[in-house]
Amino acid sequence: MGVVEEYLPAMAMLGIQAIYAIVTLISRAALLEGMSPRVFIVYRQAFATLSIAPIAYLSRSKSMKVSLDLKSFYLIFFAALIGSTMNHNFFYEGLFLASSSLATAMENLIPAVTFIIAAMVGMESVKLTNLRCMAKIGGTVVCVGGAMFMALLRGPKLLNATQAFGVKSAIFGVESGSDEAWLLGSLSLFGSCCCWSIWLILQVPAMASYPDKLSLSAWTCFFSLIQSVGFTLWVEGANVETWKIHSKTELVCYLFSGIFGSGVAYFLQAWGISKRGPVFSAVFNPFCTIITTILAAIFLHEEIYTGSLLGGVIVIIGLYVVLWGKTNDYTKEEDREKCRVETQEEDCESASTSIETDSYKVDVREPLLSSGCTHHIDS
């Protein structure tokens, strides 16, 4: 049983990447059939809310008295706006305009973008003499360079022929698959990465204020549903035809994306972050890219470009360089935490006081920030 519990977080993270890959492929297929990305998000969040809210209510422990006060409401609402509503609108617009493989490859930028945002707001100090900080900086540069390579230099095709889908974006007015659409799609996907990075950081105070993870996921889906309805009505209008389900592909897309892509994935993501931290979760992101690229080429006959493939590999290399800078901190912090636990009943408790602030728990509270590069914030 102990071995299962040890590998359970890894199994959960792999499961999340498989879910995201399937959601991406089904969504791409439905979008190319004419499904509106904004209407899709509304239905997805609706199904997610309906599936997870009853479970959250029924499974709620009587001993856990968690109330949605003003602070919790503000944090969850804002996290839903950034990490769900805006993130999904950027992502699915980019997915429609570009490709499935590019969409999942861009997501590997998240750790690097998180590092940049943390440094900009002063949560992470840049020390050129610190090897781990230099690894984060170098990895970030490599990630951004790879993303620019994918967006600007697609190169010759490796697999499949060009397909003219003839479906235009309601926001940008360009046809999916064109060079202009590819660039706009890349920018949209980068915006999605920024939103997801901010969401990772917002999860920390949100879970601290509202520790019921399942209920937190339900509130996130519900708030995102309300926000998405308002945005869709503003962009699409009240045309009834837009809201109709036109094919079985759309229906499967709504159900699977809502129940698994939002409801199940949100809970597993929050659970995994609370168990092993956001860095552990980010390590598994490239698996989604690999799965999606292979399946998209087979089932959707999606073009694979030389430049995009090379850029994706560069991004993944940069990702692991960034994570190397963090995982070294994590290993040392974990060792210190073990030492602190073993010696807390002995006379060396005073010597472990300074170590206590660098424990693994702080790693959970401050996503992707290292003890060697961080201005610690008192909780």
284-316 per-position pLDDT tens digit: 778 888 888 888 888 877 777 777 788 888 888
Secondary structure (3-state) at 245: coil
Q: Does residue 92 lie in a domain region? A: yes
Instruction: Show Cβ contacts of residue 156 under 8 Å, excluding neighbours closer than 6 positions.
Output: 305, 306
Q: Which pLDDT score is estimated for 228?
A: 94
Q: Report the domain count for the chain.
A: 1
Q: Which pLDDT score is estimated for 190?
A: 92
Map tokens 């360089």 to a residue: 321
Q: Does residue 342 lie in a domain region? A: no
Of the candidates 295, 307, 320, 316, the residue with the CA atom closest to the CA atom of residue 105 = 316
Helices (H), 284-305: 285-299
The domain in which residue 187 lies consists of: 8-320
pTM listed for this prediction: 0.73
Q: Does residue 79 lie in a domain region? A: yes
Q: Does residue 329 lie in a domain region? A: no
Q: Which pLDDT score is estimated for 102?
A: 84
Q: Which pLDDT score is estimated for 105?
A: 83
Q: Which pLDDT score is estimated for 222?
A: 93
Q: Does residue 369 lie in a domain region? A: no
Helices (H), 277-351: 278-283, 285-299, 306-343
Encoding tokens for residue 26? 């089904």
Q: Which pLDDT score is estimated for 119?
A: 76
Q: Which pLDDT score is estimated for 164?
A: 45
Name the stretches of the chain with pLDDT < 70. 1-4, 61-66, 123-125, 151, 154-155, 157-173, 175-178, 262-263, 266, 278-279, 282, 327-379
Q: Does residue 325 lie in a domain region? A: no
Q: Does residue 363 lie in a domain region? A: no
Q: Does residue 46 lie in a domain region? A: yes
Give the C-alpha separation, 350 to 363, whole Å. 22
Give the C-alpha separation, 329 to 351, whole Å. 20
Q: Which pLDDT score is estimated for 373?
A: 41
Instruction: Show Cβ contacts of residue 142 under 8 Å, excluding neighbours closer than 6 positions.
Output: 314, 315, 317, 318, 321
Instruction: Show Cβ contacts of residue 216 under 8 Å, excluding neighbours closer than 6 positions.
Output: 76, 206, 207, 210, 270
